Structure 1
């Protein structure tokens, strides 16, 4: 049940996030759906390739595809005057998707008896892979590659699941809230990782 709930939360959150980015970039309705689907399922596809799961399993998730389609349609049909409010919620939905999918990806790797390193990689790719593809298709610098703290929270989720700190349903939901909250705090208060520029004068 925990797995299914996290999958649903992540799918809805990232589908909405992708749709919002597409509308910010003034894509047409087809672009909105494509970017939303890529955001919601891209991370899982990359994860499956790297940990040895057939990518074709994604096509067995018809219910999640339908849920993503409905979520994107609702956002697209919102009145124009309400869309600026949705834009401000874009980072919030992205944080929910990051947390839910990072935990789900880690759980997937644990169930396949992968080592801790693979669990962490699965968490990062599932949590941030779709967002990276979304940003690239939207012509934006991927969040995960900026000095802004993003993938670190997926790593935290992977470590917590991979080491057994979070294993029960309750502890996984607590971890979901913690990771999402940390991501929200990091962009709200502009927490950043150290970076070094090779540009002259920096």
Structure 2
């Protein structure tokens, strides 16, 4: 994918994840600082974890502050406009950009690990980039992470990044497109049909 397209899609994902984090903070009755911190953490937390694992310092989120800046602005707007229900995490449009963000962040994370040549590392950093921010959000909010209890989310990321890893050695661009498409549609279908993994009785 062209780099400017990737940046554009990453910014869309940043917006979706920042809204998610800010909404959780609002639900937990946090103040404005807490809302902004949770919004930013959700948006860039996965990427920061990825970069620490890969030894990239300082993490890309600090080298390219546009993502943190966008997350801060969106978190603040979510706080200001919460009573107007403009940022509604339950509507179809939000679900669309959230699924898109998950797909893009997962594949971007996987691409960052390709140079290692380690398949397990590629899969791990890809999935971590996609879902790590959401896990940090829930931990900060003292909640059981949503990815472990509701809908197919991390599973979609994992399946897509495995497909990417298996194909990327032959054609990296095709692998990125196919892996991202798998993640997007698995997440979208999971939301539509309420797919969940089996749970202990």
Bin the TM-score by the shorter chain: 0.7 to 0.9
Residue in 2 aligned with 1:12? Answer: 15
Query: CA offset at residue 124 of structure 1?
Result: 1.1
Q: 1:104 aligns with which of 105, 108, 112?
A: 108
Of 101-110 and 16-25, deviating more is: 16-25
Instruction: Count how many residue pairs are aligned between Structure 1 and Structure 2.
Output: 194
Q: 2:194 aligns with which of 186, 190, 194?
A: 190
Q: 1:167 aligns with which of 172, 188, 201?
A: 172
Query: CA offset at residue 132 of structure 1?
Result: 0.4
Query: CA offset at residue 5 of structure 1?
Result: 2.9
Alignment RMSD: 2.5
Q: 1:132 aligns with which of 130, 135, 152?
A: 135
Query: CA offset at residue 17 of structure 1?
Result: 1.2
Query: CA offset at residue 54 of structure 1?
Result: 2.3
Residue in 2 aligned with 1:155? Answer: 158
Q: Distance in 1 between matches of 2:78 and 2:158?
A: 30
Residue in 2 aligned with 1:199? Answer: none
Q: How does 1:15-34 map onto structure 2 within 5 Å?
A: 15-34=18-37
Query: CA offset at residue 177 of structure 1?
Result: 4.4
Query: CA offset at residue 114 of structure 1?
Result: 3.0
Query: CA offset at residue 182 of structure 1?
Result: 1.6
Q: Specify every segment of 5 or more residues in structure 1 that has no aligned partner in the other structure, as ranges.
A: 197-201
Q: Distance in 1 between matches of 2:150 and 2:127?
A: 16
Taking structure 1 as the reference length, the TM-score comes to: 0.82
Tell whether 2:160 aligns with 1:180. Answer: no
